Each structure stands twice: as structure tokens, then as C-alpha cells.
Structure 1
Amino acid sequence: MSIAQVEHILVVPTAEFRNLGYFQGFSPDAPRYLKHLLQPALISFRPRPEMEEDPSFKQLIPYVIFEYVDADGEAWVFQYVRGKGQGESRLHSKRSVGVGGHISSEDAAEHLSGNPYEEGMRRELDEEVEIGCEYEIECVGLINDDQNPVGQVHLGVVHRCRVVQPAVRPRESEIIEAGFVPVSQLLEELDRCETWSSICLQALYG
């Protein structure tokens, strides 16, 4: 792969995150963190291969959870299994409840809104799933997990997307075994989930 073909992704200095108040797991205080971390002076776009091995930077990752509440008031969440051709190889075959991915330098192009994080989140959603109904989306927290190599270089930004119908379908072939599952069932099967999903399910629904 040539230098021109290497993906450059949005990162922030880990020291800046820690200075705001370190936590392990989930924090609902996303607005305070993001107001500081998303300052143009702090974000940069760096080569993804290097950033995957450099814990002095955190890659900001939108992590969107689709929630549907049925007529009986029971919450259902969209979940899937990551195929071997999708994204981070260290997460393959794990169940996930989060849709999203890296923010690319292409999301900061001049013709776009000027908010690369928002542009990147929308792009990732459009690429990965089809939403066939009305929905509302809100940012509900952050995930930090420094207990494994994947988590040490990522910072998840959790968004809850409430859909009026369970009408979310995968666009990518590597998003398999996808569909809405009752939250109560997911909470009983946390050992099958990737770490971020387990953290979110316990924080938001446990």
C-alpha cells in the first residue's frame, strides 16, 4: 500500500482525555469531554496503522445503538456479529450492539459541514445499515476500556438511536446474524458480546 492509500483517522491526545477526568468503563458526561476534545487545535488525522499501536492517542469512534420499544414497553436493541472481513480483526465473531467506525480525513473535506465527527458518523451509518423508519438520535455517553489492546487506542462515543419500528437492516455482507433482540436476552448473554457492547448494555439497561 502506498502512502497515499493509507487511511488517516481522527485522533486526540490521550493525555487530554485523562486531564479531563479518567474513567474506566462508561461515563454519561459526554458533552463535557467532547466540547474540549473536539476543538480543532486538539484533533488531528494520522495514519491508521500507526494509531492502532500507539496508546498516546485515542481514536474517537461513534458507537450508535438502535433501540426499539414495543407495544408492551419492552426494549429491543439491534445486534449483529462481525464477519471476518469487517473492520477490527480483534473483534471478529463477537456480538455487537454498536454501529459506527473511524472518522476519516475525508470527512473533513472543505465541501462538507465543517464538523468531521458528525460527517463521519453519518457516513458510517449510511455505509453499514439501512434505516427504514423515523428515528431520533442522541449522544448518551463515552466508553473507555484500557484493559485490552483494542480499548487502549480507542474512545467510544455512544449514541442511542430510537427507531419507531424495528426497521434497521445491514448494508454490508460482513454484518451477519443481524436483527433486534430483547434487551433482557442480551443482558443474559453478555459473555457473547464484545467488551464495548457489554459495557453499554450494563450502563444503559442493566
Structure 2
Amino acid sequence: MSASSNERVLVVPAAEFDRLGRFQGFHVDGDRYLAALLRPENTAFRPRSEVEDDPSLKQIIPYVVLRAGDEVFCYTRGGSQGEARLHRKRSLGVGGHVDEADAEGRCGFEAYDTAMRRELAEEVDIQGPGVLRLAGLINDDSTPVGSVHLGVVHIYDLDRPLVTARELGLADCGFTPIAELSAARGDFETWSQFCIDELLRQA
């Protein structure tokens, strides 16, 4: 999703994340964290320009990995992708910020779920059935980008590897065997590296 100067995005207090138990990397207990973080009293919408360098807030980002059998969908982030600090990095995750327009006056899981499904529909054309499930959370405080974002990882298991990009920002896209990801791990953004490690562990 491309960034807008007046975009207002969903954030949660980093202090609440600390209370639940801050971690580095991938964590499988996504249900417990989201149940607390996405309570209306913990969520707010703030101008994206004001929170991009504020580690006291975590921007919640749906991050959907499209998997078909032993292959996953990969792409290179282009200039139309909203986070300039990640341009030219390879990625496994499709998704973006939860915008206030997704909420229609709501704060919480419903707004989050609406945003996730909108991002999927905007960024890719999935040509076949599949099953979408929550896989866990990603946190990376080792980079300026990661310190202000919290990734919510979903695995979308597709019957067939038939996915095409709708946005120019998803360049060089296609399905890659999971077994080949380890050798190319350094080309990927940090969140995707964590996903690669988890997928390889499962395999």
C-alpha cells in the first residue's frame, strides 16, 4: 500500500506490549497478544507521519504469507510500497497498515481484519481457494523500522500457486520452493527472515 501524508494508522502502546511480554523475532502465541492489544481501550489512530519514529507506539501490520504446498509467494519491494526504508528488499509478506478508513468508527479486531483483507485484495489476485490462519507475531527492535511496527503473521494455504500482483510495487514476484529460501535469506527484509526460519523449522 502506498503511503499518504495524512494517513491515520492503528497503533497500540508499546507499554502494553511490554506488559504482555516483549520478545525479539517470531512468537507463536498470536491469539493471546492480539486479544489484549486490540481491545478498544488500547488502540488509537494517529497520523502516520507522527508515529514512524516513535517507539512508544507500535503500528500493527497484517503480514500474510501465501503458501501453496512446499512453495511460498515472494516479491521485491518497489517504489510504490509505503515503507521507503524497505525498498529493494525481498519479502514474503503481503499486507500493510490498518488505516482509519478501514475502521468505520471502530477500533479493534474487526477493523484489523477488514484492513488485512483489503490489503490482500489490493495487492494480489488470488486465483483459487485457500485457508487463512493466524500463525503468530513478529517483533524486531534491532532496526528503526522494526522498533515502531508489530507484524501479525498469517499463513494463507492455497490449493494452487496461482497468484499475480495487482501493484507495481510487488516486483519480480512468484512462488519459490521453501527449501531454496535459506540460501537467499540475506536478500529478504528482517520480518521475512524470521518467517523463513519458522517455515524451514516446520518443514
TM-score normalized with structure 2 length:
0.94
Partner of 1:84: 79
Q: What's the CA shift for 1:142?
A: 0.2
Q: Deviations over 1:144-183 (max 9, x none)?
A: 0000000000000000000000011100012110000001
Aligned twin of 2:139: 144
Name the residue aligned to 1:184: 179
Taking only the aligned residue pairs, the percentage that are identical comes to: 49
Does structure 1 residue 115 correspond to structure 2 residue 110?
A: yes
Contact 1:132 1:167 in 2 (8 A): yes
State the partner residue of 2:46: 46
Larger radius of gyration: 1
**TM-fit CA distance, 1:204:** 2.6
- The alpha-carbon distance between structure 1 residues 114 and 66, as it changes in their structure 2 partners (threshold 3 A), is closer
List 4+ stretches of structure 1 deviating above 4 A: none
Structure 2 unpaired stretches of 5+: none
Aligned to 2:28: 28
8 A contact 2:5–2:48 mirrored in 1: no
C-alpha distance in 2 between matches for 1:119 and 1:100: 12
Q: Which amino acid aligns with 2:157?
A: R
Amino acid at match of 2:67: E
Residue type matched to 2:62 in 1? P
Residue 148 (structure 2) aligned to one of 153, 164, 177: 153
Report the AA paired with residue 6 of structure 1: N
Unaligned runs of 5+ in 1: 70-74
1:22 deviation in Å? 1.4
Letter in 1 for 2:148: V
CA separation of 1:169 and 1:25: change in aligned 2, threshold 3 A: same
